Amino acid sequence: MNQLPNSIEARDVAFQLHSYMDARKHEENGPLVIEKGDGIFVEDNNGKRYIEGMAGLWSVAVGFGEKRLVEAAARQMEKLPYYHTFTGKTHGPSVELAEKLVAMAPVPMSKAYFTNSGSEANDTAIKLIWYRSNALGKPERKKIISRVRGYHGVTIASASLTGLPNNHRSFDLPIENILHTSSPHYRSMKKDGESEQDFAKRCAQDLEDMILAEGPETIAAFFAEPVMGAGGVVVPPEGYWEAVQPILKKYDILFVADEVICGFGRTGNMFGTETFKLEPDIMTLSKALSSSYLPMSALLVNEKVYGPVADESHKIGVWGHGYTASGHPVAAAVALENLKIIEERDLVGHVRDISPTFLKRLHALSEHPLAVESRGIGLIGAVELHHDEMSKTPGVLGARTNMAFHEGGLISRNMGDSMAFCPPLIISEKEVNDMFDIAEAGIETISKAL
């Protein structure tokens, strides 16, 4: 790290607490300073270029340096830089975006509600669900089921939904009334000789057993990502959604599809909901909604959710919820332009076109002796590594491999010992090959060093 007292590295360590870091280690090692980006690349302050193999945090769909988004933001800044959507006020960009999202929804949706992060969207979904249960005169229907390894955010309620130990440990989470059913990861969870179909049925049975043990009349909703992202890129096993959805219907449990990663093309359809034929009552959206150029997230809710919520707000006189920046006009204008680009360039079709190359190269990584599995769909995937000695502490091998990728000019993210790939949707076939060439060389380097 650059030790000069006025260097950006030293000032970062002096003044900033970072997300998802060992703070003491960060004091020793210092940050990686990213200065600029274009297309699928970012560049650090030493001029080293990297393929951003994670699209930032699974989010920059249209790539870095997209001028149209800069111009859309500037135009809106000049006209109306800020206004809110409280107490009946509105503005063009939020109306246009709400209309657009309701029209894009692959299942009938009634209203859009705007928030500023994936966590806030899921947190708001919980509040809508609780409010609705009260509106329906069923105050006992408050429990929510999510899944082990699911990721839904880090606010107190959304972190409780998240099914990962690091988001609970030392935070005194999860809060009560949030339950976690089994993870749909076939390889690590299957019993000896169990087929993928049978495993999927067992996951659904686990869910039903939990519902029955708790009392179906106490369960309000089930939250799930169509494909798990931060839990290690877990593509559901064959037959999983076909087995799970009828159970939700049987007990009249709302289904929230967390499309924060899957939404806007990632899985080869506009939404993961289409890829897996889901019928959610609520969809939560963020990341690729604005390509994360500005913070923006949204919920889409169907009439079954909206109706009782609207009635209750009428009865008590207010839906007492809202964020200062809900539907922020500049973020909404950027999201609208971003969606225009996704449609005009047919980025969803592009994902389908290059996904076979992406998956071929991803699965080829799993042939390496250090790899145990690869998982992927569309333009999202992970290869899981294993080394008997190192993997005793999960994440050590992953972190080392991350360093090797970094040296080679690729930014990936290790979730434990799984290395994730989730590049901007605009990535070309050649760039997909370049990305996996670096990854292949990195794994080989680590393997030789062991």
Binding of ligand PMP by 327 (CB under 6 A): no
What are the angstrom distances between the C-alpha of 103 and each of 96, 98, 112, 315? 11, 9, 10, 29
Tokens of 441: 């060389």
184 or 308, CB closer to ligand PMP? 184
Binding of ligand PMP by 115 (CB under 6 A): no
Burial of 184 (0-12, 13-18, 19+ CB in 10 A): buried
Binding residues for ligand PMP, total number by CB under 6 A: 16
Binding of ligand PMP by 123 (CB under 6 A): no
Strand boundaries in 225-352, DSSP class E? 254-258, 282-285, 297-301
57 or 247, CB closer to ligand PMP? 57
Candidate ranges 20-28, 74-82, 145-153, 266-274; the one touching ligand PMP (CB under 6 A): 145-153
Binding of ligand PMP by 372 (CB under 6 A): no
Can you tell me the distance from the alpha carbon of 401 to that of 443, in angstroms, rounded to the nearest whole number? 6
Binding of ligand PMP by 286 (CB under 6 A): yes
Can you tell me the distance from the alpha carbon of 304 to that of 421, in angstroms, rounded to the nearest whole number? 37
Binding of ligand PMP by 302 (CB under 6 A): no
Candidate ranges 96-104, 253-261, 351-359, 379-387; the one touching ligand PMP (CB under 6 A): 253-261
CB of 152 to ligand PMP, least distance (A): 5
> 3-class DSSP state for residue 299?
strand
| Residue of this chain nearest to ligand PMP (CB atom) | 118
Binding of ligand PMP by 265 (CB under 6 A): no
260 or 404, CB closer to ligand PMP? 260
Binding of ligand PMP by 117 (CB under 6 A): yes
The contacts of residue 83 (CB under 8 Å, 6+ apart) are 89, 91, 329
Candidate ranges 107-115, 139-147, 257-265, 425-433; the one touching ligand PMP (CB under 6 A): 257-265
110 with 306: CB under 8 angstroms? yes
CB of 229 to ligand PMP, least distance (A): 4
Closest C-alpha to 374, from 226, 187, 212: 187
What are the angstrom distances between the C-alpha of 345 and each of 35, 127, 340? 27, 37, 8
CB of 97 to ligand PMP, least distance (A): 17
Closest C-alpha to 231, from 200, 185, 269: 185
Report strand pairing: 254-258 vs 282-285.
Answer: parallel
Candidate ranges 237-245, 255-263, 315-323, 439-447; the one touching ligand PMP (CB under 6 A): 255-263
The contacts of residue 317 (CB under 8 Å, 6+ apart) are none
Length reported for the chain: 450
Tokens of 212: 């029955």
Candidate ranges 114-122, 322-330, 336-344, 352-360; the one touching ligand PMP (CB under 6 A): 114-122
Binding of ligand PMP by 156 (CB under 6 A): no
Can you tell me the distance from the alpha carbon of 269 to that of 111, in angstroms, rounded to the nearest whole number? 22
Report strand pairing: 219-224 vs 143-147.
Answer: parallel
Binding of ligand PMP by 261 (CB under 6 A): yes
CB of 405 to ligand PMP, least distance (A): 20
Binding of ligand PMP by 57 (CB under 6 A): yes
Binding of ligand PMP by 204 (CB under 6 A): no
39 or 263, CB closer to ligand PMP? 263
Among residues 126, 260, 278, 332, which is the contact residue for ligand PMP, using CB under 6 A?
A: 260
Closest C-alpha to 269, from 426, 152, 377, 341: 377
Binding of ligand PMP by 421 (CB under 6 A): no
230 or 309, CB closer to ligand PMP? 230
Candidate ranges 75-83, 181-189, 258-266, 438-446; the one touching ligand PMP (CB under 6 A): 258-266
Which parts of this chain interact with ligand PMP (CB under 6 A)?
57-58, 117-119, 122, 151-153, 225, 229-230, 258, 260-261, 286
